[in-house]
Chain A
Amino acid sequence: MTRINEHPILGVYQKGEPVEFTFDGQPLRGRAGEPLALALKAAGVLIHRYTAKLRQPRGIFCAIGRCTDCVMIVDGRPNVRTCLTPLAAGMDVRTQYGRGEKQ
């Protein structure tokens, strides 16, 4: 259970409506408007990209747009910081290899 249903201080989180999107072609569900990176995390996806030279995996690190570890290919655009990108229905999200050139 990665999502917190009810929090002792914050209560029930105000969330957008459930939407579908795809990760590497596979359908996943998240909440509209939440950061894409967190929709992925809640769905169990931790690896966002692989580095150019050493092909090492990277995932969320700062969650505020500073580190660029979380970039992915979103609707065909590479290097999108998923921690800052609000999830929208039908988004096509793909693991990024290197700087986003074809694998």
Chain B
Amino acid sequence: MKRYDVLVVGAGPAGLSAAVEAARLGLRVAVYDENARPGGQLFKQIHKFFGSREHKAKIRGNKIGEELLQEAAAAGVEVMLNAAVIGVFAEKEVAVRVNEQILCRQADALIIATGASENMVNFPGWTLPGVLGAGAAQTMMNLHGVKPGERILLLGSGNVGLVVSYQLLQAGCAVVAVVDALPRIGGYGVHAAKIARCGVPFYTSHTIVRAEGVNQVTGAVIGELDKDRKIIPGSEKHLAVDTICLAVGLSPLSLLCALAGCAMEDNPAKSGYVPLVNRYGETSVAGIFAAGDVSGIEEASAAMIEGRIAGLAAAQRLGFLTQEDLDARVAVQERALASLRQGMFAPGSRGQTFTATTEGCPLSQNLLRQGYLTDTELSAYPGVVWAEGLHPIIECTQNIPCNPCRDACPKQCITVGATAGQITALPIFDAQKGCTGCGLCVAACSGQAIFLVDEEAGEITLPYEFLPLPQKGEQGLALGRSGQEICAAEVVDVKTAKVFDQTNLLTIRVPVQYARQARFFRRAP
């Protein structure tokens, strides 16, 4: 039987990070993944990630995947694809299905990093062709270049639903509605705002009543929910859609942990049934570790850190690292993890309602319900300073773990938190630092929440990631934060640069009185 020092199940960010750490310390490591491609969720995520530099923030998910794979190859990790681990037995023996064959493998330490599976909801018509999971939509458009549909209803407004909606727009699909049963949008306000300004309407406190169609989806009916989550009679609304995309949450894919005999718990803060783990990610079975979404749904940034910790701990168990050395290295990782786990979207904040940021700024209720900030709410935030001349307006108004805007600015005009660890603080713009209007912050912002504004000239520079790219001199319409058409606009500049990493900077000119409102450009039909 083939043996390894460490066998990792799952080649997502958690599994690859674990493998790299262990292999760098000289262990013989293999990663098995049932998929034909490594990288787990990462290769479907073509947006710039949140976090800070050490979490690879500002880099697009697919690029992070490539970096991890290169690190794994350089460290001598063996990555085995199309290899589903289907059983875990005593003595860390595992059964792997490769093509129709079952192989047995053994390791001294096992790291389970199987990620998550998508939750489902039932409604009349949910089995019709044209109803699909958000992950399926991403696989189609981002891996294979096939549109999931033309007119799409997105069910679920968590980060997954918001990110997938944006990706659908990038793929050239129309997102007809984002529907959520909860009274507020679940994901980051900046993710919601970037689709709202493209004209995507949000229906919070709404649910799908039925999918219509005989052989495939030809429409959908949604309805508004009352306080008892019952559909308000007469509130039903028909939507002409051909595709219904479900993004109603993820659950840890922890079956292998249970099979391995690990003590498990049902923990809503971790979004489901998870193995109990200690500080090192070790389960109740000595030498079996769990890392990433499998031990609680979070982000790739957290998954990579948990993976590193598990990889280091496995090395210590096998005698490749002293306990002292392990604890010193883990402490560094734990600090990074703690900085991510702050603020209103942290796992520990689930179920709580917030009305203000930690700085005491009132949270925009309109952003939570409709996905955009109103003009009057805007001035309450430290990133919004109406200065003279060209300067950024930072419409980032919730405590999210993110700070690439700070790192991007060569003039140190933007700060996020008093110390490096406070990455959930709101970005602050300092007009005294001499902003040059370079636009680097606009392109770096993972939430596409920064605009350069020159009120006197009526010019707004905005991030633009759609095709076809408008041309200088082109006439069109300016849209407000809600996606409403507000005035005519002319494109006066289009900047693309390698440092902008595929985010183009579009400068539009509008009548000066609209400079505070215009936030998107629509090409003339």
Contacts from A to B (Cβ < 8 Å): 1-4, 6-10, 13, 15, 34-35, 38, 41-42, 46-48, 56-66, 69, 84
Contacts and interface: CB of A to CB of B under 8 A. Distances in A.
B136 A64 contact: yes
A65 B117 CA distance: 12
Given A56-B127, A58-B127, A35 B144 contact: yes
Determine the main DSSP class of A at the interface with B.
Answer: loop
B277 interface: no
22 contacts: A2-B147, A3-B147, A4-B145, A4-B147, A4-B172, A7-B170, A7-B467, A9-B46, A9-B502, A13-B145, A38-B144, A46-B129, A46-B130, A48-B129, A57-B215, A59-B130, A60-B129, A60-B136, A62-B136, A63-B133, A65-B34, A69-B127
Given A3-B147, A38-B140, A46-B216, A57 B129 contact: yes
A95 to B, nearest CB: 12
A58 B130 CA distance: 9
B129 A13 contact: no
Interface string B140-153: 11101111000000
A9 B466 CA distance: 8
A47 to B, nearest CB: 5
B321 interface: no
A38 B136 CA distance: 11
Interface residues of B, number: 34
Contact of B140 (A7, A8, A57, A63): A63
A13 B144 contact: yes
Contact of B465 (A9, A57, A58): A9
Nearest to B502: A9
A10 B46 contact: yes
A92 to B, nearest CB: 21
B458 interface: no
Interface string B213-226: 00110000000000
B146 A4 contact: yes
B145 A15 contact: yes
A65 B60 CA distance: 26
Contact of A62 (B46, B118, B129): B118
Determine the main DSSP class of B at the interface with A.
Answer: loop
B494 to A, nearest CB: 13
Interface in B7-47: 34-36, 46
B440 interface: no
B215 A47 contact: yes
Contacts of A41: 140, 146
A58 to B, nearest CB: 6
Contacts of B170: 7-9
B148 to A, nearest CB: 8
B437 interface: no
A46 B132 CA distance: 12
B374 interface: no
Contacts of B466: 8
B237 to A, nearest CB: 25
A39 to B, nearest CB: 9
A8 B502 contact: yes
A10 B145 CA distance: 9
Contacts of B131: 61
Report, nearest first, the 6 A-B pairs whose CB atoms are least far apart: A59-B129, A63-B136, A13-B145, A46-B129, A63-B139, A4-B145
Contacts of A9: 46, 60, 170, 465, 502
B224 to A, nearest CB: 27
Given A46-B130, A57-B129, A57-B215, A7 B145 contact: yes
